[in-house]
């Protein structure tokens, strides 16, 4: 676990690019430890209950 890897994982998880498990792996920590890091640094959960293959409505103007 390096500071750079944790920062990268938090950023990618916060943007919704990685799942919590993927981000934890990238950061070099367990998913439980990663969840604690998210709470500590105020990174919200981006995972949703919507299936990955379901259509996403666009909110375009």
- Among residues 4, 35, 1, 5, the alpha carbon closest in space to that of 20 is found at 35
Q: In the chain, how many domains are there? A: 1
The answer to whether position 52 is within a domain reads: no
Residues contacting 10, CB < 8 A, separation 6+: 23, 27, 37, 38, 41, 43
The answer to whether position 61 is within a domain reads: no
**By residue range, what is the domain housing residue 17?**
3-41
Q: Tokens standing for 14? A: 């916060």
The answer to whether position 58 is within a domain reads: no
* Residue 37 CB coordination number (10 Å): 19
Is the model's pLDDT at 50 over the cut of 90? Answer: no
The answer to whether position 17 is within a domain reads: yes
Q: For 1-5, 39-43, 57-61, which range has the lowest pLDDT when averaged over its residues?
A: 57-61
The answer to whether position 47 is within a domain reads: no
pTM over 0.85: no
The answer to whether position 25 is within a domain reads: yes
pLDDT of residue 49: 33
The answer to whether position 13 is within a domain reads: yes
pLDDT band at 54 (very low <50, low <70, confident <90, very high): very low
């Amino acid at each position: 676990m390096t500071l750079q890897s944790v920062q990268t994982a938090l950023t990618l998880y916060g943007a919704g690019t990685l799942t919590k498990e993927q981000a934890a792996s990238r950061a070099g920590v367990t998913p439980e430890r990663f969840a604690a890091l998210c709470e500590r640094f105020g990174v919200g959960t981006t995972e949703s209950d919507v299936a990955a293959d379901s259509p996403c409505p666009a909110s375009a103007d």
